[in-house]
Structure 1
Amino acid sequence: MTEPTLRGADPTTVRTALEDDDPFPGSAGFAGAVDGRLVRDVLGRVPLFVDGASETGGDPVWAFEPTALEEPTLFPAGAAAPADGPLPDPESGWALPDPDPLEGDAALEALEGAIQMATDAVRDDDREIAVAFSGGVDSALVAELLDAPLYVVGFPDSHDVEAARTAADAMGRDLTVVDLEPADLERAVPEVARATGRTNAMDIQIALPLYLVGERVAADGFDALAVGQGADELFGGYEKVVRLDHRVDAETVRGAVREQLRSLPDQLPRDVLTIEATGLEPVAPFLHDTVVEAALRLPDDLLADADERKRGFRRVASRYLPDEVATRDKKAVQYGSLVARELDRLARQAGYKRRMDDHVTKYVASLLEDRDTDPTA
């Protein structure tokens, strides 16, 4: 079977999007080759890499996975350029729009309708789907609207396992707990590093829980893993979008949220490649074009303030979830699962002390080197 040259959309959709300068043609992201051009959607939801080692004048070398290339470089999001040409600038094909915000109820109705449309599209696909569930509002709303089985991953005393249990109880849902032990991290680190092409500590810490829950979901016979990715970036989930401090350039909450959206093209390939490495298809309903368009029209007061983040999103979620789940804060997955803590402990036990610069990254690189040297290790 021939490997498709375009993922996430059909060629006609992409051609029309180029002709109409439409960044959101109704897909969940796309990338690949169309009519001799490489394309990647404006949020970079589908990974696409070009080979920096390919010789000028030869056949263009690109791939959907970094492992297929000698020197993989991410093709810029929002770009469309000849496959044999130089690397284009980000958003040179499509730009992230900046529409006027809707007011109050109109913004909430548009957001709810978009989320319903995106989750309906997922349910209409003929796939067996499970949900990576942390007990937070993002994954809880995905779980409720997809009515799919729930899986949580973490060490036995972790925040995420306890939060997922209480949320599942409140929702009247069964929950599968994937309990971790340190050996799971040692085994999985080289697989994650190889699949993503990354060894830095933060990326590996974030990806490990996805990989380990995905392994279990795949072993249980599912085809796809649904995640709540994108909610924090889209709906104002970060403290810095309220503080407007040195970490952002914007002077408004909406402007700061747009800055966070532009971080997705670098983050999402890590998550997509990690899930795909388990044999599953990643499903992220909140990153569907319809939801992104609705999120871009949320006003400041439905994004975040000093008292509450993701305000509009939580109001929509409260129509489907118990209040205790819809209003719940969460920890980042690497901390909530205790993966970051345990990976740090393993690094120190292996002699990579905290006084060393970036000691966990060095430990990750050592595990990858050991596995490459001895594949049976």
Structure 2
Amino acid sequence: MLHGAPPEFVRRALDDADPLVGTAGFAGALPSDRDDADETLVRDVLGRYPLFVDEETGEWTPSPTGLANARSFPAGHVRRPGDAELERVWTLPDPVPFADEQTAVAELRTAVRDGVDAAASAASDDPDMEVAVAFSGGVDSAVVASGLDAAGIDAPLYAGGFPGSHDLDAARSAAYAMDRELRVVEFTVGDVERAVPRVARAIDRPDAMAVQIALPLYLVAERAASDGYTHLAVGQGADELFGGYAKVARAPEDPRVDADTVRGARDEMLATLPDQLERDVLALRAAGVEPVAPLLHDRVVETALRLPGDALVDDRGERKRALRLAAREFVPDRVAFREKKAVQYGSLAARELDRLAREAGFKRRMDDHVTEYVRSRIDE
């Protein structure tokens, strides 16, 4: 089964070796035109849908939990019928940047609208699709929420975090500025303790950082699912596409990137997206919802790749410059230009997971004590 896009789109992408043919990602088995022929396994260039293959049997599933010897199928690759080896078919293009900021912002504004409208159209066409929004109060989720609302999709906003956390404060403030109601999911230590083994098993990773990031997503999605929502709209991909990381803004001085330009550092972050999206999608599915990521639509990606360095990070160090300017059509300025903490810190999930690890006897003097705690919970 092919997930994420109609077969004709994927066939065109294969025929033209075009990574951005107008989808929101795809993965799975592309049916053959002949009834007696085997299927071709595919995964899009950004890895927006997970895909796993058993190294011994060749079986595949969208989740690693169903396979004995699962490995992630790499993004941008295909496995054709009868071939044991994978073939890289798609890579992201390196287009000429826009000549000026005004053009860049106008094109990006249109692209973002197109990406959100595509998600809204899918929701309108499927009577069983009920969409909520994972809302942090930052520009990414705010643009998604506002765009869906403008397109006629009644998608309530869900914000998660521990009481007093930055994320809950930011979400309340942004929802007020946007004149939207907010459904608050206040985490407890018991929630985190309960969710740790479920999340770690679902994403098939025990490392502390992966679990810290996935936990807030899982807990918010779990609440939305319990309220009857089948899909959760997220702002995933914006930091990678639009220069949201401090290490991108500091290129080439920051030792965490190899590139000597802001655009080059942004491209390094894009290369991490398949791994990150795999984690997030698996966590959301474990909670009972499917993700909707309008800012990762091909139209948005194609436009983001043409942003010049100063549209990613301006000369004052403001990150996601073009996105913030484009967002002014969708949200108030105080939301468009708000700085945001990473979800694991803004929600206080990382702090409480560290506390649980220490209370369980995994002290900070140990090597990677939180990961060891997570491992112990998986083995229970």
- Normalising TM by the smaller chain, what interval? over 0.9
**Which residue is 1:277 aligned to?**
286
Pick from 321, 324, 334 the counterpart of residue 344 of structure 2.
334
Separation in structure 2 between the aligned mates of residue 47 and residue 84 of structure 1, nearest angstrom: 22
Equivalent of residue 317 in structure 2, options 287, 307, 321: 307
Q: Secondary structure of 1:353's match?
A: coil
Alpha-carbon separation, structure 1, partners of 2:203 and 2:370: 17
Matches within 5 A, 1:347-358: 347-358=357-368
Residues 1:353 and 1:207: Cα distance change in structure 2 (over 3 Å) = same
**Shift of residue 37, structure 1, vs aligned partner:** 2.1
**Deviation for aligned residue 1:87:** 4.9
Distance (whole Å) between structure 2 residues aligned to residue 260 and residue 165 of structure 1: 30
Equivalents in 2 of 1:243, 1:71: separation in Å? 40
Change (3 A) 1:165 1:190: same
Q: Select 1:25's aligned residue among 21, 28, 36.
A: 21
Q: Which moved more, 1:341-350 or 1:28-37?
A: 28-37
Aligned to 2:224: 217
Deviations 1:29-62 (A, max 9, x none): 001122432111000111011112x15xxxx211
Residues 275-310 of structure 1, C-alpha deviations (whole Å, 9 max, x = no match): 111221100100000000010011111111342000
Distance across 1 between alignment mates of 2:219 and 2:161: 9
Farther off after superposition, 241-250 or 358-367: 241-250
SS in 1 for 2:159: strand
Structure 2 residue matching 1:330: 3-state secondary structure:
coil
- Shift of residue 258 of structure 1? 1.1
Question: Deviations 1:164-200 (Å, cap 9, x if unpaired)?
Answer: 1111111111111101111101111111111111111
What TM-score, normalized to structure 1? 0.93
Distance 1:13 1:192, change over 3 A: same
Which residue number in structure 1 is paired with residue 132 of structure 2? Answer: 130
Contact 2:49 2:281 in 1 (8 A): yes
Counterpart residue number, 1:227: 234
Q: Which residue of 2 aligns with 1:45?
A: 48
Q: Unpaired segments of 5 or more residues in structure 1?
A: 371-377
Amino acid at match of 1:26: G
Partner of 1:16: 12
Establish whether residue 121 from structure 1 lines up as the match of residue 118 from structure 2: yes
Paired with 2:186 and 2:246, the residues of 1 have a C-alpha distance of: 30
Asked if the contact 1:33–1:83 (Cα under 8 Å) also holds between the matched residues in 2, the reply is no
Are 2:53 and 2:60, in contact at CA under 8 Å, matched by a contact in 1? yes
Q: Distance in 1 between the 2:160 and 2:249 partners? A: 30
Q: Following the alignment from structure 1 to structure 2, what is the Cα–Cα distance between the partners of residues 14 and 323? A: 39
User: What is the match of residue 99 of structure 1?
Assistant: 95
Equivalent position amino acid for 1:111 in 2: L
CA distance in 1, matches of 2:47, 2:199: 20
| Distance in 2 (alpha carbons) for counterparts of 1:13 and 1:154 | 39
| 1:220-299 mapped onto 2 (5 Å cutoff) | 220-244=227-251, 245-299=254-308
Contact 2:249/2:317, CA 8 A, preserved across alignment: no
Displacement of 1:311 in angstroms is: 0.3
SS across alignment from 1:347? helix
Q: Within 5 Å, give how 1:190-209 maps onto structure 2.
A: 190-209=197-216
Distance 2:159 2:91 in 1: 36
What's the secondary structure of 2:279's corresponding residue?
helix
| Identity in percent | 60
Task: State the shift of 1:153 in Å.
Answer: 0.6
Distance 2:82 2:330 in 1: 49
Give the Cα–Cα distance (whole angstroms) in 2 for the partners of residues 290 and 93 of structure 1: 19
Deviation by residue 1:217-247 (Cα, 9 ceiling, x = unmatched)? 0111112100100000000101111211222
Deviations 1:308-342 (A, max 9, x none): 00000000112221111111000000000000000
1:27 counterpart letter in structure 2 = T
Question: Partner amino acid for 1:94?
Answer: W
1:143 aligns with 2:145: yes
Q: Once superposed, which parts of structure 1, at least 4 consecutive aligned residues long, lie more than 6 Å away? A: none
Distance in structure 2 (CA, Å) of the matches to 1:157 and 1:194: 29
**Which AA in structure 1 matches 2:111?**
A
Q: How far did 1:83 drift?
A: 5.6
- Alignment: residue pair count: 359
Question: Please, which runs of 5 or more residues in structure 2 have no aligned partner?
Answer: 33-38, 150-154
Report the AA paired with residue 72 of structure 2.
Answer: L
Distance apart, 1:95 and its partner CA: 1.2
C-alpha separation in 2, matches of 1:43 and 1:83:
23
Q: CA deviation at 1:84?
A: 5.6
Give the aligned residue type for 1:327: F
State the Cα distance separating 1:28 from its structure 2 match.
0.5
Say if 2:54 and 2:67, in contact at 8 Å, map to a contact too: yes
